[in-house]
Amino acid sequence: MSMKDQGIVVRNIERADPQVVKGLAACGVATVHEAQGRIGLLASYMRPIYYGPGIAATAVTISAPPCDNWMIHVAVEQVQAGDILVLAPTSPSDAGYFGDLLATSVRARGGVGLVIDAGVRDIRTLTEMQFPVWSKAVFAQGTVKETLGSVNIPIVCAGAAIHPGDVIVADDDGVCVVRREDAAEVLKKAEARVANEESKRARLAAGELGLDIYDMRGKLAAKGLKYV
């Protein structure tokens, strides 16, 4: 984050192509992460509040003070159809920044979910609404509205750098970010992996071994593996 990125709201951001976003949702986090060279994952402590089908969406980013959710209200106004809010606190916090009222508001703007490196609450209602959230914590702890943050600036969320308009892919395995400018190429590679996996699955189900399918025996022997 630069010094200039404080107390600002960037209104016009470029978003990834919706068709590409849709395609990435179908591939899932593990495949997308592999397809782009094993980068872009958020930390493994980011967990969904309920298990369900995965999503992909374009990021509206929020840099928020610890235990202060004022900027979420500011960010909601910037949400367009197909967006997901992505919030990083400027100091670690597990407070519950977000609940069912904010989810109602995000959904009314066309937003599809939340990724937050902090806490969320009202998860029973959020689950009934089927409003997906990936968070570090579930915690009823409330927040204040006292200090400015920023909206739609580059942030670091759960260890991953995220720019506004990037693609967020999230499912039961976790959350992955794909840079907007990489998205089309990543989709192509991810779809190739999906196709390839299907044929592998059939062979493995039939009892063939990965050792043979992937031709590993020679390389293992060369490294010195001994059977005793």
Give the one residue of 23, 65, 111, 164 binding a copy of itself; rule: CB under 8 A.
Answer: 65
**Count of residues that interact with a copy of itself, criterion CB under 8 A:** 102
Long-range contacts of 15-20, Cβ-Cβ distance < 8 Å, separation of 24 or more: 15/58, 15/80, 15/82, 15/83, 15/165, 15/180, 16/58, 16/165, 16/166, 16/167, 16/178, 16/180, 16/183, 17/183, 17/184, 18/82, 20/167, 20/183, 20/184, 20/187
Under the binding rule (CB under 8 A), the answer on residue 26 touching a copy of itself is no
Give the one residue of 61, 121, 133, 165 binding a copy of itself; rule: CB under 8 A.
Answer: 121
Give the one residue of 21, 25, 41, 87 binding a copy of itself; rule: CB under 8 A.
Answer: 41
Under the binding rule (CB under 8 A), the answer on residue 192 touching a copy of itself is no
* C-beta of 19 vs 108, nearer to a copy of itself: 108
Task: Please provide residue 126's backbone torsions phi and psi, each rounded to the nearest 5 degrees.
Answer: -60, -40
Under the binding rule (CB under 8 A), the answer on residue 215 touching a copy of itself is no
- The structure tokens listed for 204 are 């493995």
Under the binding rule (CB under 8 A), the answer on residue 37 touching a copy of itself is yes
* C-beta of 15 vs 94, nearer to a copy of itself: 94
Neighbours of 73 (CB within 10 A): 11
Under the binding rule (CB under 8 A), the answer on residue 82 touching a copy of itself is no
| Gap between the Cα atoms of 103 and 200, Å rounded | 40
Under the binding rule (CB under 8 A), the answer on residue 102 touching a copy of itself is yes
Give the one residue of 76, 86, 114, 190 binding a copy of itself; rule: CB under 8 A.
Answer: 76
Under the binding rule (CB under 8 A), the answer on residue 119 touching a copy of itself is yes
Give the one residue of 17, 26, 34, 82 binding a copy of itself; rule: CB under 8 A.
Answer: 34
Under the binding rule (CB under 8 A), the answer on residue 171 touching a copy of itself is yes
User: In degrees to the nearest 10, what's the CA dihedral of 44, 136, 155, 51?
Assistant: 70
Under the binding rule (CB under 8 A), the answer on residue 29 touching a copy of itself is yes
Residues 140-159 that bind a copy of itself (CB under 8 A): 140-142, 144-148, 154, 156, 159
154 closest CA partner among 39, 63, 56: 63
